[in-house]
Structure formats: structure tokens, C-alpha cells
Amino acid sequence: MTNFVTRHIPNTLTCLNLFSGCIASVMAFEANYNLALTFIVISAVFDFFDGMCARLFHAPSPIGKELDSLADDVSFGVAPSIIVFSLLREASYPIWMSGIQDYVPYFAFIISVFSALRLAKFNIDERQTSMFIGLPTPANALFWAAVATKYHEPIQQGGIWLAVLLILVLIFSLLMVAEFPMFSLKLKSLSWQSNKVRYLFLAVSIPLLFFIGFASVIAWYIILCLFVKEKH
């Protein structure tokens, strides 16, 4: 009985990730960005623990791997796409874009496409056991949800904010599939020597999260990966 229960815990957590991601998508359609962020965070928590439980209970499975990717593309691909779609739909457009402003919001779904590509690459890339190649999809989703909650009103006004939003969609989409090594937050030990980059990241992230928000933490993660290369 115990083996039967523990065997299904990882996939149950993955399904809860998917469930939370669906709710985040609905909240995003309704432009309720605070709740969208909340449910993306909940999805990220479930996503973290499903893999941990699979290792802890020695219950990895082929279906679990496929289910995880499907759940992640909804929670961290479709949900942030809908967030950006809603932002672009609410934004004010210059006169010269009046003829295409009804179509511009659909540009947001590039995020979903590149998220799927990122997840597919992760599944077949044997290098990504202790590190990431490209921006992880949860980090990308948290960035967009945080941007929506903090910069919703300025983006509504359009202007330079609209241009920045469109450019960031391209940059972050490309970052997800770029051959760009990024450290993982998984700790194999608590030693300073083997985790100094992670400890530095966490030490700076706490005040950033408190004073600025999630978006600054993701930006700090990307910057740190640019300048600090770990040995693997």
C-alpha cells in the first residue's frame, strides 16, 4: 500500500502544477495579475517538489517525464503568454499602429512556442543534469507575472513601455532556447565552495524581492549567469 501511494505522489504533484497553471491562465485572461502571479508561484512550488519526490521515493517514470513537460508548458508557457496578451490588449497604441493593434497582442504567444521548444530540448539534453542551458521556463513565467503586477498601469499608457514589452518578449523567448549556461538552485551539499554562486544569488535576491519584486530577482539571476560561470 505504501509503495502504491508513494509511487503516485510525484505525478499527483505534477497534476496540481497543471491545475494551478490553468487557474493562472484564467486569472490572466481576466487581467487579475496578482492572482495570476500567485498561482504561477504555486505551480512552481509543485514543479519543484514533484521531481524531488520522484527522486526521494525512487518513483521516476516515463509518463511522469512527459506529464511534467505538458504541465510546465501550460503553467510556464501558456499562462505567461496570456498575461502578456492581456497587457498588450489593454495598452494604448500610437496612431501609426491603429491598423494592427487588434493583432499585436497575439505576438505574446511566441512565449508559449519557445517555452515548448525549451522543454523539449531539456528532455533530450543530457548536459542539463546539474545546470540549465537557456532560461528555465518557471523563471520566465515568474518574470512576466511580476512585470504585470508591478508595471500594469505604465504599460496601459503605451509609449516606450509598449516598445519595451514587445522587445522583452523577443529577448526572453530567445533566452529560453539559447546555448547559454545557467546555474541550477539544486544543492548537492551545503558547503560554501560548491554553492557560493547560489548563496550569492539568494543573499541579493531577498532584499530585491522585498523592495522591488520578482522581476528584479529574475533579472539578477540572468545577470549573475552572464558574469559567473560554474564548473560542472
Distant-in-sequence, close-in-space partners of 186: CB < 8 Å, separation ≥ 6: 130
Helix (H) or strand (E) holding 156: helix 137-156
Q: Is residue 89 part of a domain?
A: yes
CATH number, domain containing residue 54? 1.20.120.1760
**pLDDT above 90 (res 2):** no
**pLDDT above 80 (res 63):** no
Q: Is residue 91 part of a domain?
A: yes
Q: Is residue 206 part of a domain?
A: no
Q: Is residue 219 part of a domain?
A: no
Please give the mean pLDDT across all residues of the chain.
86
Q: Is residue 129 part of a domain?
A: yes
In terms of Cα–Cα distance, which of 3, 222, 230, 228 is closest to 134? 222
pLDDT band at 58 (very low <50, low <70, confident <90, very high): low
- Chain centroid to Cα 140, Å, comes to 3
User: What does the pLDDT read at residue 111?
Assistant: 97
Domain carrying residue 101: 2-181
Q: Is residue 25 part of a domain?
A: yes
**pLDDT above 70 (res 4):** no
The whole-angstrom separation of Cα 50 and Cα 75 is 14
Provide mean pLDDT across the span 113-128.
84
Q: Is residue 92 part of a domain?
A: yes
User: What does the pLDDT read at residue 231?
Assistant: 54
Report the domain count for the chain.
1
Q: Is residue 101 part of a domain?
A: yes
